[in-house]
Structure 1
């Protein structure tokens, strides 16, 4: 029994080290949210057990929680670099699958390939997903792609794009005109800890998180929007290094317990022989 108790400790220590290692490796990943491993003890007991005789039989991983605390805001100067100060996620849509994803990584740009072939550009993330917006100035909650025409109604060529604090995305043209193409949509969830990670700092909704509730920046439960800035990872390297040392000691202690059990077992076998 003692072997299995210590073995469960080793396995949990390995899980803890993996979680901490993943946090450290993503310390420079824009919009990344760190995780924390939580553990629970196991006991051998029944309704008829004497409470004074109950012993532990090891531990197990109870859950791995996402920590959605605010990360530092870093200025970049690029108009399509967006950061959320407060709650909410950007909504992005895959052109290949139509899958809606949610992210705190606001590193967006214009899709120049689409502009050359269709006369309009889409605001996309690093993997080609399209940023979703709500109709500007309206009350509709229907999402759509952020589309920037390469020319205005007068034929003037596109000259730049800006994003206001209220989320309005405006396209400017060479003749001095500008038009609002939509308002950046932010998504909120009843339980964001239930979101499923899919990589690239993206998440998808699950039954645990609940469906996305869309709104606009700085409105109600939604955080403010900053243009020309990005939210850095919320990983604190100092804390992670302390956690790493603790997890290593946890691992070594369980390994030592197994070694001690082996020594004791060998001694007992030698006595019988």
Structure 2
């Protein structure tokens, strides 16, 4: 019996050494969680045996339990690197159609050849669908997750229909309407500003707006003429409504707010040389003298010319310029044409009993009966942790503690080896009795 007890002690000490060695080996493994060997004594008696004199039957390994404490963060320059601070796991699938989910804390992600976010083993990171404009998720059910992809281009081109400009015109500027307007003669206008617009093919065009004060006699309202030159075709400027200001510098909008309209028929006519690439406008391009929300109008006060709003509603095809991920896991892509869109929200998963998860390697786990059902959710809400972009969660192994445990396990192994040696000596002594 004593041989078996000593052998169980040796096996337990060996298991402790194995677990400690594995922890030390993974001290630099991203997302790794240390393990702890847990032991229990073995004790067995029959119904009629005396418990007073019964000796235990040794030791057994009860469980190798993982410790899911938070690891420290290591910050990187890759926006697709993600770390969870708090509770939760990333969800992965081996291919795009699979629902065989694995779960990990290792957030070293990158793009594959098809622009999907994957881990080092090619597993697809799962996310929830969101509204592209505000990033609001549509569902947090794990059955609705899908692989997250990052498009490298933003949509089809959209022709400009509206230009919005809000500015101040200098009330002390002199009148410049003595001569006909000429974009090449600075003496025939007071101020100008330019903006880039786009045709139906996404090609850029330069639109320059000119303003010149007309000759008026006080106390009449001040008036400014407006002109637009398209791509420096100065021989054929477009003229819009006059801007009229009262004595307080406020623009009058009666009977209607002034605009400057460039008719699409004129722009599309090849004889006018406005478009030479086959593009076609379906509506007039309108310069609106206001901001897009119609809350601010141009002013005329004793200050220099300054634009406070200058925008347009067209766009060209944009290439990807950046990806940002916030603490809620919302993935925002930015493009060179100024567009930005929310693409998805990284799905997080939690379990009632994380120590019931089954290890499958590559710092990943799978659901078991003991772990309970996976519960999907949004990062940084309820009990789910926050997502840190451009960061990785390091191993939670404390190297100092592991080295002390290694010494302790070694001593236990030596002690049990000595017990085995003593038992052998005693049995040899008995066999030599004559």
TM category, shorter? over 0.9
Q: State the Cα deviation string for residues 18-50 of structure 1 (Å, max 9, x = none).
A: 111110000000000000011111123134332
- Work out whether residues 90 and 102 of structure 1, in 8 Å CA contact, stay in contact via their aligned partners in 2: yes
What does residue 175 of structure 1 align with?
A: 337
After TM superposition, list the pairs within 5 Å mapping 1:90-129 onto structure 2.
90-95=90-95, 98=98, 99-111=100-112, 113-114=113-114, 121-129=115-123
- Work out whether residues 83 and 106 of structure 2, in 8 Å CA contact, stay in contact via their aligned partners in 1: yes
What does residue 76 of structure 1 align with?
A: 76
Helix, strand or coil at the partner of 1:252: helix
What does residue 34 of structure 1 align with?
A: 34
What does residue 206 of structure 1 align with?
A: 368
What does residue 143 of structure 1 align with?
A: 145
Counterpart CA distance in 2 for 1:238 and 1:124 is 34
Helix, strand or coil at the partner of 1:56: coil
What does residue 161 of structure 1 align with?
A: 323
Q: Given the alignment of the two structures, is residue 249 of structure 1 paired with residue 411 of structure 2, yes or no?
A: yes
- The structure having more radius of gyration, on CA atoms, is 2
Counterpart CA distance in 1 for 2:105 and 2:353 is 16
Counterpart CA distance in 2 for 1:265 and 1:89 is 55
What does residue 118 of structure 1 align with?
A: none
Helix, strand or coil at the partner of 1:266: helix
Deviation at 1:230, TM superposition (A): 0.6
Counterpart CA distance in 1 for 2:422 and 2:364 is 45
Distance 1:97 1:251, change over 3 A: farther
Unaligned runs of 5+ in 1: 115-120
Helix, strand or coil at the partner of 2:349: strand
What does residue 237 of structure 1 align with?
A: 399
Distance 1:149 1:16, change over 3 A: same
Counterpart CA distance in 1 for 2:85 and 2:137 is 23
Deviation at 1:156, TM superposition (A): 1.6
What does residue 117 of structure 1 align with?
A: none
Runs of 4+ aligned structure 1 residues displaced above 3 Å come to none
What does residue 8 of structure 2 align with?
A: 8
- Give the TM-score normalised by the residue count of structure 2: 0.60
- Work out whether residues 34 and 66 of structure 1, in 8 Å CA contact, stay in contact via their aligned partners in 2: yes
Helix, strand or coil at the partner of 2:20: helix
Q: State the Cα deviation string for residues 77-136 of structure 1 (Å, max 9, x = none).
A: 32111110100001111118822110000111111x22xxxxxx1011111111111122
CA RMSD of aligned residues (A): 1.3
Helix, strand or coil at the partner of 1:262: helix
- Work out whether residues 96 and 124 of structure 2, in 8 Å CA contact, stay in contact via their aligned partners in 1: no
Helix, strand or coil at the partner of 1:149: coil
Number of positions where the alignment pairs a residue of Structure 1 with one of Structure 2: 265
Deviation at 1:138, TM superposition (A): 2.8
Unaligned runs of 5+ in 2: 131-135, 157-316
Q: Given the alignment of the two structures, is residue 228 of structure 1 paired with residue 390 of structure 2, yes or no?
A: yes
Helix, strand or coil at the partner of 1:198: strand
- Work out whether residues 170 and 180 of structure 1, in 8 Å CA contact, stay in contact via their aligned partners in 2: yes
Helix, strand or coil at the partner of 1:214: strand
Counterpart CA distance in 2 for 1:223 and 1:166 is 9
Distance 1:96 1:180, change over 3 A: closer
What does residue 134 of structure 1 align with?
A: 128
